[in-house]
Amino acid sequence: MPMYKEAVKAMTPFLVDNFGNASSIHLEGQEAKNALHEARSKVAQILQIQPAGVTFTSGGTESNNLAIRGVVSTKRRDGTPMNQMEIITTKIEHPATEKTLVYLSRKGVKIHYVSVDAGGQVILSELRGLINEQTILVCISYVNSEIGTIEDIGAVSRVLEQEQALGQHVLLFIDASQAPLWLPCELPRHKINLMSLDAGKFGGPKGVGILACGKGIKLEAITFGGGQENGLRPGTEPLAQIVGGVKALEIAQQSYLSRSESVRNLRDYFMAKLTNEISGCIVNGSVGEKRVANNVNVSIPGIDSEFAVVMLDTHGVSASTRSACSAAGGGESTVVKAISGDSIRATSTLRFTLGEDTTKAELDKTVAILAKHVEELKKL
């Protein structure tokens, strides 16, 4: 999505005039340090955590890595061998989580995959059964990046809370990169221990993210260098990007309710029109309140989804086959395959992302173009 104008305005002084390094002791450096402190305090206020729990990163991918590998490294530092650690996740996670866990599994950490239902919701009874004395972490997305399912984080945290009452302390890490524009993101609301955010997903600049840690969470660093970000993320802080990202987060969280309501109506209109006017079109993921307002993901068996994306692009319509990070690898959607078990459905997916400026006329145009394309394919 484009950056909010307010975010660009907030960044501009730090791109032009206030160019100091926040780690320097001269006047310009101290001015930068003060601005960084204000940005961190603002994030802490929005997410309802302590400023020390805010770490600025290069984006959601780095935040996910730091959260997951940081927990494992901390446990290892405290004397737990990696082959005595277990992590629970799902088969529908973003590659930044999925591939980090694959890496850790090669190091000896045991990864369990809890099943999800046809809408992408975690099956809580199975989650409860997977937890044991070696479980250290549960990793799930707040909003699925492909099918838009909103996970019931409160229900998941209640399962972990019940286990804690029995003496088993399991941390909860939430990838919330897709959430701030549409959902509340305060950590205490659902007893979240660690949460990742990506400014480029909520109207901020690309290349900056946040790892938010709740009370009592201490992480071991996974990269090394200077002492910036409490030693967790060494390297000179990109102050302009941070300031812009924080301004965007503030805007996103101030108005997520009204934004969701208006865009949700467009989403439902678009999904109904697609399924009514295109034969065989199937909506992937949950519907209604369990789906984020801006996501439409469908399968149209028989189409070449990548060719369809290119065709739509020639008509000025931007779509994708999967999340951008997943799509880089080609092939079927592992998310749609996980919820449906259908390879044909998983290789014929189209994902549309709506925004506050999307109009019904644009959606009508998209359906007409796509319906014509499908009819032409049938003739062939």
- What average pLDDT does the chain have? 93
pLDDT in tens, 98-131: 999 999 999 999 999 999 999 999 999 999 999 9
CA distances from 230 to 23, 64, 70, 152 (A): 12, 17, 13, 32
- The torsion angles phi and psi of 379, rounded to 5 degrees, stand at -65, -35
What separation in angstroms does the CA of 96 have from each of 3, 107, 139, 145, 190? Answer: 23, 17, 11, 11, 23
Per mean pLDDT, which range of 125-129, 142-146, 305-309, 318-322 is the poorest?
318-322
pLDDT digit string (tens) for 166-221? 677 999 999 999 999 999 999 999 999 999 999 999 999 999 999 999 999 999 99
pLDDT exceeds 50 at position 238: yes
Give 107 or 164, the one with higher predicted confidence: 107
* Distance from C-alpha of 237 to C-alpha of 121, rounded to nearest angstrom: 37
pLDDT of residue 230: 87
Q: Residue 138 phi/psi, 5° resolution?
A: -115, 130
Give the model's pLDDT for residue 329. Answer: 46
Read off the pLDDT band of 80 (50, 70, 90).
very high
Q: What is the pLDDT of residue 19?
A: 74
Which of 139, 185, 281, 325 is catalytic? The answer is 325
User: Among residues 123, 182, 189, which one has the least CA distance to residue 154?
Assistant: 189
pTM over 0.75: yes
Residue 185 annotated to the active site:
no
- Ordered domains of the chain (ranges, CATH): 5-254 (3.40.640.10), 257-373 (3.90.1150.10)
